Amino acid sequence: MPGLTPQYDDAARERLVDEPPKGRPAPERTPFERDRARVVHAAASRRLAAKTQVVGPQTDDFVRNRLTHSLEVAQVARDLARALGGEPDLVETAALAHDLGHPPFGHNGERVLAEAGEGRGGFEGNAQTLRLLTRLEAKTFGPDGRSAGLNLTRATLDACTKYPWPLAGASHPSGVHADGSPRVVRKFGVYDDDRPVFDWMRASAPVARQCFEAQVMDLADDIAYSVHDVEDGVVASRIDLSGLDAEAVWEAVRDWYLPLATDDVLAAGLARLRTVASWPGTAYDGSRRALAALKNLTSELIGRFAAEAQAATFASYSGPLLRYDADLVVPEDSVVEMAILKGIAAHYVMRADDRVRAMARQRELLAELVDVLARTGPDHLDRPFADDWAEAPDDAARLRVVIDQVASLTDASALAWHSRLTGSSA
């Protein structure tokens, strides 16, 4: 196969539904280039532009939404995959797809749908991504007449799978939400009724182990949101990197990311971050020069974390860094530094009083929307989901249809649906 790393064999390039060559002349593309095009053109990708990353996409022209975040993750992932000798197209596609399953209002909405689905299969954004890619997105149908979603290759689907286990294999979450309540969302990658395609995808894969490409995608996601959430917070005048409240930041880091991290470890990590040349010594003033300096800091931090992972991985492996031949190595210092950046955003942005109040209202609204749709059935569902409802064999399956519909909505459409169906405004 021209342009394709030879270690990706026929099984890695296989699709669940066999597709004959197109009947018209077209530029020759690798299977992974075709996968990337399918994700780029998916309706779920377009909807990410109106879904929350940290703050709502309608609040400011500068802040990131799920689409811009995914594009940035894809750029980091592609460069890192190339540097490691992997298949950039495959890893970039996984990065572009990694947030497709996120519902309205980001992780806050995920919390509501997980509670709504408790005892009925649950909800998790990564499991929803697999469901979108293999069922809900309209592209390919199998011989049995059922949707095969985008019908991506086995290797691409595997690279998109951050948590390669079902709900039954998920550990219970630790830490707290922004409002101080215990976390409830368990991390898993497949719903029970999607097990057939998951089992096909994971044929011959080590149990519960991420493939190397998924590990690269996962790190790129960590790098991007740890750095960019801070950048957005600085521009929004919520974060002053020159005057951090270290004690409050350490509390957020332990509550959300590294529960066992000591003050000494975190203080040493912050000291290392402050040695980065672009780390600011004064408060951000909104000037073009200050914005340029902030962008330089972003670039330096991304390059730092990627280069350190690349060096550590090369120091540990000499063979092919593909599929299950290796594991990505992320130095502990990098893990701590990224957690500190996430903790800064968590304390100054996600835990801010106005943000906590807004998130509480978002949860109420989404829970009410799930309730009214579950009671009214297909009367208000979009046609594809109304069809799924009609085919659902029991109440649990019908609730899953409702959750699929609500998860597909953007922030704005969730608000509009709620207003239309309940008669109340946000």
State which residues form the domain around 296.
Answer: 230-354
Question: 148, 121, 115: which is closest to 394 by C-alpha?
Answer: 121
- pLDDT beyond 90 at 250: yes
pLDDT at position 25 is 59
Question: 47, 54, 226: which is closest to 137 by C-alpha?
Answer: 47
> What's the token pair of residue 385?
């989901």
pLDDT interval class at 20 (50, 70, 90): confident
Place of tokens 């689907």: 157
Q: Does residue 301 sit within a domain?
A: yes
Of all helices (H) and strands (E), which one includes residue 411? helix 411-422
- Please tell me the distance from the alpha carbon of residue 201 to that of residue 154, in angstroms, as a whole number: 5
Q: Does residue 421 sit within a domain?
A: no
> pLDDT tens digits for 349-360?
999 999 999 999
Q: Does residue 331 sit within a domain?
A: yes
Q: How many CB atoms lie within 10 A of CB 59?
A: 12
Q: Does residue 92 sit within a domain?
A: no
pLDDT interval class at 51 (50, 70, 90): confident
Domain count, the chain: 1
**pLDDT above 90: percentage of residues in the chain:** 85
> pLDDT tens digits for 145-194?
999 999 999 999 999 999 999 999 999 998 888 888 889 899 999 999 99
3-state class of 190 per DSSP?
strand
Higher-confidence residue of 2 and 215: namely 215
- Please tell me the distance from the alpha carbon of residue 151 to that of residue 318, in angstroms, as a whole number: 33
> pLDDT tens digits for 366-424?
999 999 999 998 999 999 999 999 999 999 999 999 999 999 999 999 999 999 999 87
- pLDDT beyond 70 at 58: no
pLDDT at position 24 is 60
> pLDDT tens digits for 226-246?
999 999 999 999 999 999 999
Q: Does residue 31 sit within a domain?
A: no
Question: Is residue 223 within 8 Å of 306, Cβ to Cβ?
Answer: yes
pLDDT at position 2 is 47
Q: Does residue 264 sit within a domain?
A: yes
- Please tell me the distance from the alpha carbon of residue 311 to that of residue 315, in angstroms, as a whole number: 6
Question: Is residue 148 within 8 Å of 140, Cβ to Cβ?
Answer: yes
Q: Does residue 123 sit within a domain?
A: no
pLDDT at position 419 is 96
Q: Does residue 258 sit within a domain?
A: yes
